[in-house]
């Protein structure tokens, strides 16, 4: 249960808004929100930065993580399109936000966001969705075996399936291709395992014919419902 050093893959440093240092820059200011793009592996903010803005993901995936002083890392949340991040009770951010994929976000000044009722409603409604997801993730971290965790994670990567209102297989096609867009280390830090256990667990799932590993970051799930049953949730 000891140290998991933060990913060896060095994250890119934040690109200051407006400075077109490459592929990412502020594209346009909106009345309230400011559009920004981030390349994969770029930091949106870091622990200790002044918590001035709230972010909404338009496209792509962002991870939020925290570090312990000795280097152990926990990815506390994965934020997909529609999700919100940058919520902080303190005057500074209490963790890091890093783009997992190239992504587009809109950010709002914290105080300004509270002015617009419309905007505030949208953001808070979304926070509630994520709040419930965090509760569910606590169960994953707290009470599930390595296999159940991997299965839960895989299900999370298949939009529209596995939820309360899962429609079941579309016709006879019960397969899914998924891009993990995370390294083994990141999956480990999200599921609270080690990189080796993630690798072994995936291999075991492959051997059992549950998934095929097309590329390290791309899986094909043969039978979604079977994975769903492996989550331990039902």
Partner DNA sequence: CGGACACTTGAATAGGGTCAAATTCTGTGG
Partner DNA sequence: CCACAGAATTTGACCCTATTCAAGTGTCCG
Minimum distance between the CB of residue 198 and a copy of itself, rounded to whole angstroms? 14
Minimum distance between the CB of residue 65 and DNA, rounded to whole angstroms? 16
Q: Which of residues 26 and 40 has its CB atom nearest to DNA in the complex?
A: 40
Contact between 2 and DNA by CB under 7 A: the answer reads yes
- Per CB under 8 A, which of residues 1..30 are in contact with a copy of itself? 1-2, 4
Alpha helix locations (H) across the chain? 110-115, 117-143, 146-156, 184-191, 195-207, 224-230
Contact present, 174 and 223 (Cβ < 8 Å)? yes
Contact between 143 and a copy of itself by CB under 8 A: the answer reads yes
Look at residue 213 and give the partner it binds from a copy of itself, DNA, none, a contact being a CB closer than 5 to 8 Å depending on partner kind. Answer: DNA
Contact between 73 and a copy of itself by CB under 8 A: the answer reads yes
Q: Which of 10, 28, 111, 117 binds a copy of itself (CB under 8 A)?
A: 117
205: closest CA among 155, 137, 142? 155
Sheet order of strands, 211-215 included: 176-179, 218-221, 211-215
Contact between 101 and DNA by CB under 7 A: the answer reads no
Cα→Cα distances 228→171, 189, 221, Å? 17, 22, 11
Contact between 70 and DNA by CB under 7 A: the answer reads no
């Amino acid at each position: 249960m000891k140290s998991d050093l933060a990913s060896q893959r060095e994250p890119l440093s934040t690109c200051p808004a407006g400075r077109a240092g490459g592929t990412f820059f502020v594209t346009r200011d909106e009345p309230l929100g400011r559009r920004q793009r981030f390349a994969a592996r770029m930091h949106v903010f870091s622990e200790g930065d002044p918590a001035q803005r709230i972010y909404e993901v338009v496209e792509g995936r962002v991870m939020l993580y925290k570090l312990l002083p000795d280097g152990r890392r926990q990815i506390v949340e994965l934020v997909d399109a529609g999700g919100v991040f940058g919520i902080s009770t303190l005057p500074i951010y209490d963790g890091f936000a890093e783009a997992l994929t190239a992504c587009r976000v809109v950010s709002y000044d914290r105080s300004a966001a509270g002015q617009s009722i419309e905007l505030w409603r949208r953001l808070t409604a979304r926070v509630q969705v994520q709040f419930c997801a965090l509760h569910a993730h606590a169960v994953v971290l707290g009470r599930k075996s390595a296999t159940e965790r991997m299965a839960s994670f895989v299900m999370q990567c298949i939009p529209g399936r596995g939820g309360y209102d899962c429609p079941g297989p579309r016709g006879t096609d019960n397969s899914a291709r998924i891009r993990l867009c995370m390294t083994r280390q990141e999956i480990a830090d999200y599921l609270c395992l080690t990189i080796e256990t993630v690798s072994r667990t995936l291999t075991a799932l492959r051997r059992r014919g549950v998934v095929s590993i097309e590329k390290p970051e791309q899986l094909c799930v043969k039978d979604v419902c079977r994975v769903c049953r492996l989550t331990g949730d039902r």
